[in-house]
Structure 1
Amino acid sequence: MNKKHNHIRNHITKYFVLISLFFVFGCSNTKYLPEGDLLYTGGSVKVKDSIMKKKDRKALQTELEGLLRPKPNKTFLGLRPKLWFYNIAGEPKKQKGFRYWLRTKVGEEPVLFSKVDLDYNASVLRNFTENRGYFKTRVSADSTVNNKRVTAEYTVVPKKQYIIKSVTFPDDSLKMSKIIARSSRRSLLKVGKPYDLDAIKAERERIDARLKEKGYYYFSPDYLLAKVDSSKGDHEVKIRLVIKDETPAKALRAYTINNIFVYPNYSLANDSMVYRKKNITQYKDFTIIDTAETFKPRVYDRTIYFKKGDLYNRTDHNLTLNRFVNLGTFSFVKNEFKPSDSIDNALDSYYYLTLLPKKFIRVEVLGKTNSASYTGTELNLNWNNRNFLRGAELFTASIFGGADFQLGGVNKGKNIYKLGGEVSLTWPRFITPFNIEGNSEYVPRTKATIRYEYQKRTQLYALNSFNTSFGYLWKENIRKEHQLNVIDVTYVSPNHVTAEYLEDIQQDPALGKVIEKQLIFGPTYNYTYTNTMQKRRKNTIYFNGELDLAGNITGLVTGADYPDKVKTIFDVPFSQYVKIRTDFRHYLKLGKESELASRLIVGAGFAYGNSNTMPASKQFVVGGTNSIRAFRARTLGPGSYVIPETTTNINYTPDQSADLKLEFNTEYRAKLFSIVRGAVFLDAGNIWLLHADPNKPGAEISKDFMKEIAVGAGAGLRFDLSFLILRTDLAIPLRNPALPDGQRWVIDDINFGSSSWRKDNLILNIAIGYPF
């Protein structure tokens, strides 16, 4: 025992010595400085102004301090560890090896005071302040030395800020001046607002963008001059925008579109553009130069928004380029406008398009595990053709297979195998009886899919699943996306049902739903909104809503009514229901490398007419790696339902599903080091049946449903490998709705020292990607 204590004490002593050395050497960085030089430890700015509000003064000081150069060495707990590593590494003898790595990759060279130009920084602060309207600002600079360390202090004394008294726009006879004047109500320069040079620059950009919409292709913001008069009034300025006299004549003219040339097989390696006449095809307003006739000409008609004679505008210019990119067939898109040789004030437009490989194969191999103790793998082989019918259609043929094995636990031996295939064809347009094209930069698409999957659960049953769908996908903009399947048909048929499973159904009739024949058809609609791509926003959201209508019109027409008038198609009763699901997520940025992510899922399904229950494949489930992680996948709920003891001889865990779902998750995420990120999380929720089921007491929704909310918590690591994120989550239950009311909080039962408690309650989830 004494040896063990001595061993621990020795380790503690070593760690204490190392930490002490780190602090000692961290404080002795100055001894490595060049003779006569000092270590620069940063600068500060003080704004002296008795009129300015305290909040505005502090904001200005923060902005000004951000302009100071150079930046001092990075600190941690008041120390400079990177500088310390740089110093202890010393000068390496060669550009490789541990010392070179430690000095150049881990370390950071000292920022010396000799590199600090106080006068230059003072002039930068003065210019910035005056550009904000604080004319005649005085800036002084000083420094303070303490033990070979030096700080710089800058004092800024601004005068009263100037306010915009009036704004006038060009009033000459030019046509563009009238266009500018008509847009003056959208001006960024507002009377009564502070003078700001950045606002003047932004106003010039705004005017240029407006003129670009009116044909002025060669105009530039630099051709606008802002004359500022501060000679009259009390700290007021008059701003007059004029067109410079030296503006070239071509910038003062509006241009139309003349010839439009398209090069679909443009090569970056050979851009000589020498083509014989037989390679040229004329289609409407387009001249297509293509030896291989790669695309049907109507592809360009749908993609290029300019037509001959149109007035040039930047919107159609950018719209055309974005649509070419979004076709998904080109690796490079280039556009040029040149003055026409045949018509005055006209432009010839050239589109140079470099093709992606037409055919390609993608192989995906996936290893996975879930909280139900299944471990498995999946293989997907996809063959793709990006221009299947010469109309930029994407054809995909896939075959897939996988297996999930449970090496231990109650499901041992009940392995799951699946095998299937899918073919899909996507057209880059709407295929409808009506002419609907839209004017979004994102190409609308029509997609048809046929899929078959065979799933085998050994010792129990097998399922054949067929699905076909036809629908539309379109994006309004980068934030809003829609998917409407006008036809979505699913047929599920069981086979190889074992005697063991049939016996289990006698004990638990709910198991019979899994192997029922199912015929589901009807439209589905999906809407997504997100602004999470805006990285600078502190708050971002994601919303996804789904609507699934099955058999509604057919049920209405046939008068279907369960159980008296159940209607069938090919001897299979069709499903009739309405299902709605919403998924709302909020992301709160707490720092540069940390955020709080939250999610709320609400779902409801209502079977009626030809059905008394929702199909098992369309019901909601809860628990698992992307849900409530403290409970094994598909084992939680419904409600407070507990599998009765009479079914304990069923040697596997049946999946639990229901008509209603409520789930909430929140997770704090932060970068720990390098590629490793950490998270702590809290999950809550459950599922319920809409109507009481005598075989599942406690499963139906009631006014006390909040008492049946399951709660779990945990922590995890995420490894950001750039091409994927590997996630590990360890969770424990805090509240179990399967326990009697009043005993559902199980926090007091937590006992990490007990192996039996860990076996039943400590759930490890391994997955790819974030849970939400």
Structure 2
Amino acid sequence: MKPFTTKISFILFTLLIISCNAVKKVPDDEHLLTDNKIFVDSIEINKRQIYDQLYQEPNVKLPLLGLPLKLLIYNAANSNPDTTFYDWLHRKPKREKRLINWLSKKQVEKVGQSYVGFHEFLQETGEAPVILNKEKTERSASRLEAWYWNHGWFNAKADYKIIKKKNKRAKVNYFITPNQAYILDSISRRIASPQADSVYQNHKEESLIISGEKFETNKFNAERERITSLFRNNGFYHFEQEYISFDADTISTNNKANIELVIANREIKKEDSTYTVPYRKHYISDVNVFTDYNYTNKNKSVTDSANYKKYTLYSFDKLKYKPKAVVDAIFIKKGEVYKDRDRSLTYKRMQQLGIFKYPDIQYMPDPRDSTGTQLISNIFLTPKEKFGVDFNFDVSRSNIQDFGIGFGGSLLIRNIFRGAETLEIGGRGSVGSSRDAAKSEDNFFNISEIGADVKLSFPKIAFPINTSGIIPKYMFPFTTISAGISTQQNIGLDKRNLTGKFNYRWYPNEELTHKLDLIDLQYVRNLNRGNYFNVYRNSYNRLNTIAQDNFNQIDPTYFYEDASISDDNLPNLKIPEGTQAFINEVNNNNYNLSSEENRITRNIIERRDRLTQNNLILASNFSYIKNTRENIYDQEFTQFRFRVEAAGNSLYLLASLSNLNKNSNGNYNVSNVEFSQYGKVETDFIKHWDLGQQNIFAIRALGGVAIPYLNSKDIPFARSFFAGGANDNRGWQAYDLGPGSSGGINEFNEANMKITLNAEYRFNLFGQLNSALFIDAGNIWNTLDNVEDERMTFTKFSDLKKIAVSSGVGLRYDLSFFVIRLDLGFKTYNPAFDKQKWFQQYNFSNAVYNVGINYPF
């Protein structure tokens, strides 16, 4: 700890010395703004939304250290680099000539350009000093008054005090006296159009302007938007927000505001005259759909058409779509009132189908109508190409492989059955290098995987009965059927993986997503089970040590004949013959092992049996996902995911009803495979706060548990939990942490219960380079399964003491479309240690470097 602390102290001292140069480029008669404080009724506040009203804020400082790094970078730049380089080049008479002889004239010019470019880069990357500006300070005070006025304090007063220091630094204190806020009193309305007034009356209880509440300008703006949306979704095609106004009477009202809502009639300009007409509801008289419109055929004649329900579909060539499939994606209906919402839903659904480009929806007055209230809706659809081809290639590294190359491709067929379906056929493969792969035969690429997938998606809920009453089409339902197969060679136990899914998804609103996997089938077959101890060397080493310690009790044929291959001159167990024979003897209680040796051996046997058994998983699961993030630029949002899964219940019921015989473990088999049966629950909560000036505070809480029952005593490896890695507890590599306080004794440590807590403070260093300080906590445990080692199990709340903690710092380079991330994690609290658990390995030699794409949460 001492050398590490010394390094940190030296860095902090160096940065402190550098910070003294912050006023380097501040003119002698000016001052650097270092701090703003706002006092409301003499009490200092820290509300970000109020500080955002100021026209001047100090230079951005690094968290904790408080150093204005971007300012220091700017100060390090030469203001006149070209002049400086020229002066340096000619300061000595023969310098330029010597450099030209040594390099060349062209190279000397490039050196000068590089020098200038470097200092220009520093200026662009850094941040110029914020010079105190009295005019901006006065404007800030006025803006603070305006902010309080907009929030109901009409008599608010703001003042300021500039405190200048002799070291060319200054700070500003703002003082606000809000006085008494105004309260909404009577609320009346004056709506010129009788039809508009009737619609408003039917929805007046939804008003955001409520008597007795404080006056808030933003609520009036929101009310304008609400009324506009209300009217435009109730037939008023021509209504605009500009026709809404509010009159407020605050004269002699004792800090109360009497509000009158005014909605004028529609104003029409015709030639040199202007007149007004009342708003009237508009109705859809016809809906025409042009299914293959594009620029080249806009002047062509329609050659094919079809009528379905109350829609007319046209095509310039032969109609290539089933009318029902197109009509199901349209929310504009003949005979109903005009609604903005219907047009927006149609836009979104057509985009989701993936077979059309962004549609063009137009409305025009119906020339057959004499009342002026009928609209014809024309929907122009431009098809995408029927076939789409995609290829991908990537290079990767993980804790499983030292180097890997992945490749793949897919063929997308749109509208394959004329019902807006999409069929995707894909293939993938990879080759890699791993020092841990068995039977590598010194080949560099000793890992391989190949797979294929097929997926069919269509825009409805495919179910024997009509589900539109439960999942209406405005929830944008989809059904997906998929299947896949993959084969791995020379990694693990050489697996063959078969998958199949029958999936529904729908979107109840903008923030919610529901997913239901009615059928989630997975079959995992281990092709090389005898290779287990070649791959899982930690388990083999522990088993081999116990066998060597009891060498006199064991048949010598279980060991290799050449004793020299062992460091202690004792032979090693043969793989797989010797290990299997030794395990059989232990299971038959033929050896006199100590209690600790017996415990360790049986743990190894249990894990081997579980990881080498073939798995058949037939599950159903449901996911509830809520995401308040509006777009990629939204930095303050909440995400919540809840997932519940049940596996094996239908197979168990069928096996019971069929009176199938049970195997030696007392469980049912299907096709000679003991199927898995368990219940699983997972939750994931993420919250981001935008603190301003590119500072973000983010947290995550994740938890899950999978409980085996009836036909299972454990959870399949493919459905278990692991801890550690770039998106988890970053002080440990993936699969290295846990279970519990066991210390990660296996190559791939997993369990059936998990808790993870993360907190991260993100901030900008300069330019596109960001950084973060983080704390991660969590672990995995076994609970209610066949693992009995108390170090690995969770049986009581005191086992939460086994939660591991890591902390660290990260760098992130933002490329706009994705983020490259490097995190350095230190083991801060390690529950595997017996005594000193805190900061025992808090050093660079035990640190973990995590490389990732995008943010961890």
Check whether TM > 0.5: yes
Q: Distance in 2 between matches of 1:566 and 1:60?
A: 62
- Following superposition, the deviation at residue 201 of structure 1 comes to 3.9
- Cα distance in 2 between the residues matched to 1:44 and 1:635: 47
Range 415-424 or range 273-282, more displaced = 273-282
Query: What residue identity is the alignment partner of 1:88?
Result: S
Contact 1:370/1:766, CA 8 A, preserved across alignment:
no
- Determine the structure 1 residue equivalent to 2:289: 262
Alignment of 1:472-483 (within 5 A): 472-483=504-515
- State TM-score, norm by structure 2: 0.71
1:607–1:282 CA distance, 2 compared to 1 (3 A): same
Q: Deviations over 1:173-208 (max 9, x none)?
A: 712212223333332333344555554443333222
C-alpha spacing 1:729/1:157, structure 2 compared with 1 (3 Å): closer
Instruction: Find the aligned partners of 2:141 and 2:794 in 1 and give their Cα distance.
Output: 70
Structure 2 residue 405 is the aligned partner of structure 1 residue 382: no
* AA in 2 matched with 1:433: P
**Shift in CA distance, 245/211, structure 1 to aligned 2, threshold 3 Å:** closer
Q: State the partner residue of 1:648.
A: none
Distance 2:700 2:180 in 1: 49
2:425 paired residue number: 397
Please say if residues 684 and 712 of structure 1, whose CA atoms lie closer than 8 Å, have aligned partners that are also in contact: no
CA distance in 2: counterparts of 1:642 and 1:197, whole angstroms: 59
Q: How far is 1:427 from its partner?
A: 0.9
With 110-119 and 700-709 compared, the bigger mean Cα shift is at 110-119
1:451 to 474, 480, 484: 484
Secondary structure of the residue that 1:169 maps to in structure 2? strand
Q: Give 1:371 shift.
A: 4.0
Q: Which residue of 2 aligns with 1:542?
A: 640
- Number of corresponding residues: 725
**Counterpart contact for 2:699–2:757, Cα < 8 Å:** yes
Cα distance in 1 for partners of 2:701, 2:231 equals: 46
Greater mean deviation of Cα atoms: 716-725 or 469-478:
716-725
Q: Distance in 2 between matches of 1:676 and 1:42?
A: 22
After TM superposition, give the deviation of residue 448 of structure 1 in Å.
0.7
* Deviations, residues 93-126 of structure 1 (Å, cap 9, x unaligned): 9x99739946984588999999969999999788
Residues 442 and 191 of structure 1, relative CA distance in 2, 3 Å threshold: closer
Q: Deviations over 1:122-165 (max 9, x none)?
A: 99788777666666999999999999999999999999765443
CA contact (8 A) 1:73 1:108 kept: no
User: What are the superposed Cα offsets for residues 393-441 of structure 1, whole Å, 9 maximum, x if unpaired?
Assistant: 2211111112342348999879542111111111111111122243465
Structure 1 counterpart of 2:748, one-letter code: D
- Map 1:169-188; keep pairs closer than 5 Å: 169-170=189-190, 174-188=194-208
Residue 242 of structure 2 aligns with which residue? Answer: 222
- Cα distance between partner residues in 1 of 2:455 and 2:654: 27
8 Å Cα contact 1:664/1:685 also seen in 2: no
Kept in 1, the 8 Å contact 2:481–2:502? The answer is yes
Secondary structure of 2:482's counterpart equals strand
Identity %: 23
Structure 1 CA distance for aligned equivalents of residues 441 and 699 of structure 2: 37
Secondary structure, in 3 states, of the residue corresponding to 1:202? helix
Contact 2:22 2:72 in 1 (8 A): no
Determine whether 1:771 maps to 2:856.
yes
Describe the shift of the 1:42–1:169 C-alpha distance in structure 2 as closer, same or farther (beyond 3 A).
farther
CA deviation string 1:598-649 (max 9, x = no partner)? 43433333333333333333333333343334444334444455899xxxxx
Contact preservation (8 Å) 2:22, 2:71: no
- Distance in 1 (CA, whole Å) between partners of 2:32 and 2:835 is 62
Query: What SS does the corresponding residue of 1:682 show, helix, strand or coil?
Result: strand
Q: 1:141 to 1:769 in 2, by over 3 A?
A: closer
Letter in 2 for 1:418: E
Q: What is the SS of the residue equivalent to 1:731?
A: strand
Relative to structure 2, which stretch is displaced further, 708-717 or 510-519? 708-717
1:603 to 704, 716, 722: 704
- Give the structure 2 partner of residue 26 of structure 1: 25
Q: Among residues 837, 842, 854, which one is paired with 1:745 in the alignment?
A: 837
Find the residue that maps to 2:381 and give its secondary structure: strand
- 1:568-607 matches, within 5 Å, as 568-607=669-708
2:754 is the alignment partner of 1:661: yes
Displacement of 1:547 in angstroms is 1.2
Change (3 A) 1:412 1:394: same
Q: Give the one of 443, 456, 463 matched to 1:432.
A: 463
Distance 2:410 2:248 in 1: 64
Superposition deviation, residue 473 in structure 1: 1.5
Counterpart of 1:614 (choices 696, 712, 715) is: 715
- CA–CA distance in structure 1, aligned partners of residues 138 and 705 of structure 2: 68
2:600 aligns with: none
What secondary structure sits across from 1:421 in the alignment?
strand
CA contact (8 A) 1:681 1:715 kept: no
> CA 1:164–1:489 in structure 2 vs 1: closer, same or farther (change >3 Å)?
closer
Residue by residue over 1:661-690, the C-alpha shift from the partner in whole angstroms, topping out at 9 and shown as x without a partner, is 334444443333333423433333122153
CA shift in 2, pair 1:412/1:42, >3 Å: same
Q: Is the 8 A contact 1:622 1:687 kept in 2?
A: no
Residue in structure 2 matching 1:423, options 435, 446, 454 = 454
Match among 270, 273, 286 for residue 311 of structure 2: 286
**CA offsets per residue over residues 345-366 of structure 1, 9 Å max, x none?**
1111122333444322222323
Instruction: Give the 3 Å change call, closer, same or farther, for CA 571–676 of structure 1 in structure 2.
Output: same
Q: Kindly provide the amino acid, as one letter, of the partner of residue 98 in structure 1.
A: G
Write the letter of the residue equivalent to 1:493: R
Take 1:496 and 1:728, find their aligned partners in 2: how far apart are those partners?
Answer: 37
Residue 530, structure 1, aligned to residue 627, structure 2: yes
The DSSP-based 3-state class of the residue aligned with 2:79 is helix
* One-letter code aligned to 1:378: G
Partners of 1:342 and 1:578 in 2: CA distance: 63
Note if 1:206 corresponds to 2:226. Answer: yes
Q: Distance in 1 between matches of 2:644 and 2:47?
A: 47
Letter in 1 for 2:479: T
Superimposed CA distance per residue, residues 33-54 of structure 1 (whole angstroms, 9 cap, x where no aligned partner)? xxxxx9997999999xxxx966
Query: Does 2:344 align with 1:318?
Result: yes
**CA distance in 1 between partners of 2:504 and 2:809 (Å):** 40
Distance across 2 between alignment mates of 1:671 and 1:152: 24
Rounded to whole Å, the distance in 2 between the matches of 1:197 and 1:643 is 58
**Alpha-carbon contact 2:186-2:211 (below 8 Å) kept:** yes
* C-alpha contact (below 8 Å) 2:35/2:58 kept by paired residues: no
Distance 1:420 1:351 in 2: 42
CA distance in 2: counterparts of 1:119 and 1:592, whole angstroms: 22
**Kept after mapping to 1: 8 A contact 2:432/2:447:** yes
Distance apart, 1:391 and its partner CA:
2.3
Tell me the residue number matched to 2:53. Answer: 66
- CA-CA distance at 1:474 after TM superposition: 1.6
The corresponding residue for 2:557 is: none
Kindly provide the amino acid, as one letter, of the partner of residue 507 in structure 2.
K
Aligned residue among 467, 482, 485 for 2:517: 485
**Alignment check: 8 A CA contact 2:619 2:645 kept:** no
Q: Which residue of 2 aligns with 1:361?
A: 389
Q: What is the CA-CA distance between 1:252 and the residue it aligns to? A: 0.9
Secondary structure of the 1:170 match is strand
> Structure 2 vs 1, CA of residues 294 and 159 (structure 1 numbering), >3 Å: closer, same or farther?
same
Would the aligned equivalents of 2:285 and 2:376 in 1 still touch at CA under 8 Å? yes
Question: 1:256 Cα shift?
Answer: 0.7
Contact 2:820-2:854 at 8 Å conserved across structures: yes
Label 1:318 to 1:215 Cα distance change in 2 as closer, same or farther (>3 A). Answer: same
1:722 paired residue among 803, 813, 816: 816
- Please list every run of 5 or more consecutive structure 2 residues that lacks an aligned counterpart in the other structure: 1-9, 62-66, 87-112, 269-275, 532-574, 584-603
- Name whichever of 462-471 and 381-390 sits farther off: 381-390
Secondary structure in structure 2 of the residue aligned to 1:289:
strand
3-state SS in 1 of match to 2:816: coil
